[in-house]
Amino acid sequence: MKKDTHPKDYRLVVFQDLSNGTEFLTRSCVDTKDTITKDGTEYPLVKLEISSSSHPFFTGKMKFVDSAGRIDKFNKKFGNSKFSKKEEEEEAEVKDGE
């Protein structure tokens, strides 16, 4: 096995899920500028958009998370493409469904 392949700066780090506020305290060597105080001790903080506590695969619940506006960005970019539905088609579908 090769020597010195693993980092030596492992430390306790808090990972915080921004979608539900869950926090995990674990060892990591990730670089971060944020800190958080837990139980009187200050730890480096890593903010996550999604983790195992909020991911639909692990929770069994479908939850919509769009904190970065990705859907709006997609619609703005591809809204006029040949793959998008035109307004007339959408209106026709609504009338057919009534």
Tens digit of each residue's pLDDT (9 = 90 or more) over 73-92: 777 777 777 666 655 555 55
Is 73 within 8 Å of 42 (Cβ atoms)? no
Q: Which residues face 7 on adjacent strands?
A: none
pLDDT score for 95: 59
Is 24 within 8 Å of 51 (Cβ atoms)? yes
- Enumerate residue ranges in the chain where pLDDT < 50: none
pTM over 0.75: no
Phi, psi of 91 (to 5 degrees): -65, -40
